[in-house]
Amino acid sequence: MRNQKLKRIILLVGIVCMMFSCRLYDIHADTYTEGMIAVKHEELPVKRDCQRVQFDHLYKLSESFVTKVLADIYYKEKGLFKRKETLRVFQDEEIKKLVPLIVQAFSVATPTQVIAVTSYSYRMILSDKKNYYILFLADHSLNIVFGRVHMFQTFNDVMSEKKKYLTTRENPAKKRRSSFWKLIPSAGQRLEPGHENWLIIDLSK
């Protein structure tokens, strides 16, 4: 009788520990979604000058700051059929959905996690244009590194990615440039040396 009671107590403690562990994992590994937009924590290594970057996470960013940052990100197209003008990466409706998700993700990110984001612009009939990028804080600066900017996606492509939580394991920090676009820094922004896809915004200014 005593042994059975002891076993029940041990089993109960084990269940409680498992539930607590799962809860801790959920806090730091959630995928935050809004329609076709997904914001997720990822364990991706980011290197600068052959040294792994140490992230300043977790961090509380204001929604007004993130809104301004996203609204001020521009790019130019490359290639034979490129448009000559400078273009915005994010549309206003896209920004409204992204901002609260990004702020929430940063507020619980660990020092080893980046914020990986997949979103879509210029919705057309049976197609979208995909943006994929990571964000992290390091050396008192917000870093935004793009892997995809307005990449054309068919309806089938979008549905396939939705089944994979709309994210990919691609690491944009390993990329230096694209054959189809390059970022154009606005006031208060600068490019990581040697990169056309990596923006840095100093938080101390």
* Residue 6 within any structural domain of the chain: no
Instruction: Quickly state the pLDDT bin for 84 (edges 50, 70, 90).
Output: confident
How sure is the predictor about 165, in pLDDT bands with cuts at 50, 70 and 90? very low
- On whether residue 130 sits in a domain, the answer given is yes
Tell me how far apart the alpha carbons of residues 59 and 67 are, in angstroms, rounded to a whole number: 16
At residue 169 the predicted structure's pLDDT band, cuts being 50, 70 and 90, is low
In what side-by-side order are the strands of the sheet with 31-34? 31-34, 37-42, 114-124, 127-138, 141-154, 198-202, 189-191
Which residues constitute the domain of residue 61?
A: 28-202
Whether residue 15 is contained in a domain is answered as: no
Q: What is the predicted pLDDT for the residue at 4?
A: 57
Asked whether residue 20 is domain-assigned, the answer is no
Q: How many domains does the chain have?
A: 1
At 18-73, the pLDDT tens digits run: 444 333 333 344 788 887 788 999 999 999 888 999 999 878 999 999 999 999 99
Cis peptide leading into residue 58 (ω within 30°): yes
User: Would you say residue 46 lies in a domain?
Assistant: yes
Residue 127 has pLDDT above 60, yes or no: no
